[in-house]
Amino acid sequence: MIQTNYLIIGSGVAGLTFALKIAERFPDKKITIVTKANADESNTKYAQGGIAIVTDKEEDSYQKHIEDTLICGDGLCDRSVVEMVITEGPKRLKELIEWGAKFDKNVEGTLDLGKEGGHSENRVVHHKDQTGQEIQRAILSQVHKKENISVLDYHLAIDLITENNRCFGAYVLDEKTNEILTFKSDFTLLATGGIGHLYGHTTNPVIATGDGIAMAFRANAIIKEMEFIQFHPTALYDAKTGTSFLISEAVRGFGAYLRTKNGHRFMPDYDSRGDLASRDIVSQSIDLELKKSGDECVYLDCTHLDMDAFKKHFPMIYERCKSLGIDLAKDWIPVVPAQHYLCGGIVVDKTGKTSIENLFACGECSRTGLHGANRLASNSLLEALVYSDKIYNYLANTSFDKSQFDHTVSDWKLVEKPSINQYFVAKRKAELQLLMRQNAGIVRNDADLLKAKEKLTLWKNEIEEKIKSHQINAELCELQNLITIGTLIVQQSIDRNENRGGFVKI
C-alpha cells in the first residue's frame, strides 16, 4: 500500500496547478500524481485557441464576458459560478505568467487578443495555436522542481476506494508491470479530462476515455448533463485516418469562411453572426448541409487571408495542412464536426467538492455550472485554473478531523486469470464508437437512443463478466469506462425533453 496526502488522477492543467499550489503551501505533505500516459499527454496539451480572459477593460468588461457565456449556455448556466470564474480570470493569468508561460503580444507590447465564436470582444489570450501545450510545459517544469510531488506515468486509476460515501484513495494499474497498486490518500482529485474516444471522431487524444467520470459513477457520485456534448465544427477531414486534428475556431475569428464544395457560404443562411456563430450552431449547420448534400465534408476557405500573418498566428495548422498537400493560399481545408468537449460530468460545488466526502473533481470531467448547455470557446482552461485554485484554497484553509482519515484499506486481491483477447476489445470499441456517432451524435432522436441503450446494456453485462474472468489490463478498463459513459450519455439524452444549446433531439 502507498500512503499519500493528496492523490491527483490526471496531469492536465487542472491537476498540475492544484499539485503545484498545495506542494508550495505544505512542503511536508506528500502529493502523488498518477497519469495513464506521459505526464505531458492530456487534453490541455491539445487546446489550440487559448484562454478567454478579460484583460482590456476599455473595450471589454466582465459583464460582456458573463453575458456571452450565459447566452452560449442557453439558460442552463449557474450565474453565480459564471461570475466567479470570469472575475477571477486575470489573477489566474498572472499566476501562469509568473510560472513562465509565454503568451503572444502585439506591436504595442500588450497581449495579442484573439476572437472566437460566441465572443462579443477580442479576449482570447493565446500562444500561437499551441496555447495548451505552452501552459502544460510551464506548469510541468514547476511541478518537477517540487520534491514533495511524485509523478507516476503509465499508471491507470481503475477504481476509487470508497466506504460510507467517503473516498480513501484509488486502485491503480501500473501499466508496465501489470501490478495493481493501492493508494491510500487523505484527499483524491479527479482531473481526468474528457470522453472523446467514445466517439472515435474526436479532437481529443487517445487517452480521453472518460475514466474519472466512470469511476465516480461506480462510486455513486452524482453525474449530470452528460447529454451536452460539444462537437467542434472544424476538425480536419482526412479520409484515410478519420478526423482528429483541430482547426481552431480562431481561424474563423481571423477571417476564414465556411463553404460547401460548390463554394456557397452557408453560415449566413443559418445565423446573423455567420461564420462566428457559437459552436453548437455551426456544428448543427454543417451537419444539416452534409445531410442535404450527401457530401463527406465542407470546406474552410483561407485563400483571401494574409498568409504571412496566418503562418505567424497558426504555424501548427499551416504546417499540418502543408504536410497533407493543402496549400492554404490556393486550397480550401476539408473539415467536419468532431466530438470536442463534454459540458456535463461529475457534479461539484464552488469548492470543487463532489457528492462523495474527500473526493474532488476539476476540469473537463467535472460539471461546475459554468458551461450550461454549451461551452463558450476558450472558457475551459479558465474553468480548470479557477477551480483548481478553489479546491486548493478550500483544502489549505479548512481544518479537518484527523479521525476521518483513519480507515483500513484492503489491498487489491490479485488472482491469476487468462489474458483478454485484444481483438475482442478493439472490435467492441470500434462498434461502440460507431454506435455513438450514429445514434447519439450532433442531432439525436428517441428511437435511435433507445436502440443504443439496449445494445449498451448487453455490452455492459458482457464487459462485467469479462472483467471478472480475465486479467485486468488498460484496454479492458478503458472499454468498460467507455461503455459506462455511453450509457450515461444515452440515458440522459432520453431523459431530456427540450432542446438546449448543444443538445438537439428531433
CATH label of the domain that carries residue 314: 3.90.700.10
CB 258 within 8 A of CB 267: yes
411 found inside a domain: no
Q: What is the CATH number of the domain that holds 126?
A: 3.50.50.60
49 found inside a domain: yes
- pLDDT for 150 equals 96
Q: pLDDT tier at 240 (50, 70, 90 boundaries)?
A: low
- pLDDT for 414 equals 81
Domain boundary among 351, 377, 405: 405
Give the whole-angstrom CA distance, residue 197 versus residue 137: 24
Cell of residue 197, nine digits: 474516444
**Interval 102-118 mean pLDDT:** 91
Catalytic option among 123, 252, 259, 279: 279
Q: pLDDT tier at 246 (50, 70, 90 boundaries)?
A: confident
415 found inside a domain: no
pLDDT in tens, 61-106: 999 999 999 999 999 999 999 999 999 999 999 999 999 999 999 9
138 found inside a domain: yes
Give the whole-angstrom CA distance, residue 483 versus residue 463: 9
Q: How many CB atoms lie within 10 A of CB 499?
A: 15
Mean pLDDT score of the chain, rounded to an integer?
A: 94
- pLDDT for 128 equals 86
Looking at the fold, whether 363 and 264 belong to one and the same domain comes out as no
Cell of residue 240, nine digits: 484515410
- pLDDT for 397 equals 95
279 is catalytic: yes
CA dihedral (474, 476, 477, 479) in degrees, to 10, reads 120
Q: pLDDT tier at 296 (50, 70, 90 boundaries)?
A: confident
- pLDDT for 129 equals 78
Looking at the fold, whether 113 and 167 belong to one and the same domain comes out as yes
Domain boundary among 321, 338, 355: 338
Looking at the fold, whether 237 and 333 belong to one and the same domain comes out as yes
Cell of residue 228, nine digits: 451536452
410 found inside a domain: no
Domain boundary among 338, 357, 374: 338
Looking at the fold, whether 315 and 353 belong to one and the same domain comes out as no
Looking at the fold, whether 70 and 210 belong to one and the same domain comes out as yes
Q: pLDDT tier at 504 (50, 70, 90 boundaries)?
A: very high
Looking at the fold, whether 41 and 175 belong to one and the same domain comes out as yes
DSSP 292-333: HH--S-EEEE-TTS-HHHHHHH-HHHHHHHHHTT--TTT-PE
Looking at the fold, whether 42 and 175 belong to one and the same domain comes out as yes
Q: How many domains does the chain have?
A: 3
**Interval 10-21 mean pLDDT:** 95
Q: What is the CATH number of the domain that holds 448?
A: 1.20.58.100
Looking at the fold, whether 447 and 499 belong to one and the same domain comes out as yes
Looking at the fold, whether 172 and 51 belong to one and the same domain comes out as yes
332 found inside a domain: yes
Q: pLDDT tier at 270 (50, 70, 90 boundaries)?
A: very high
Higher pLDDT, 131 or 428: 428
Looking at the fold, whether 373 and 331 belong to one and the same domain comes out as no
pLDDT in tens, 30-41: 999 999 988 666
- pLDDT for 125 equals 95
- pLDDT for 248 equals 87
- pLDDT for 413 equals 85
H, E, C per residue of 68-122: HHHHHHCCCCCHHHHHHHHHHHHHHHHHHHHCCCCCCECCCCCECEECCCCCCCC
Q: pLDDT tier at 395 (50, 70, 90 boundaries)?
A: very high
Helix pair 446-469, 474-495: axis angle to 10 deg:
150
CB 388 within 8 A of CB 360: no
273 found inside a domain: yes
412 found inside a domain: no
Give the whole-angstrom CA distance, residue 211 versus residue 422: 19
Position 160, amino acid: L
pLDDT in tens, 476-503: 999 999 999 999 999 999 999 999 988 9
Burial 100-134 (b: 16+ CB within 10 A, else e): ebebbeeeeeebbbbbbbbbebbbbbbbbbbbbbb
Looking at the fold, whether 348 and 296 belong to one and the same domain comes out as no
Looking at the fold, whether 257 and 216 belong to one and the same domain comes out as no
Domain range for residue 463?
A: 422-505
pLDDT in tens, 40-49: 666 666 666 7
17-21, 262-266, 275-279, 322-326: segment of lowest average pLDDT: 275-279
Q: How many CB atoms lie within 10 A of CB 195?
A: 32
Whether the full predicted model's pTM is greater than 0.85, yes or no, is yes
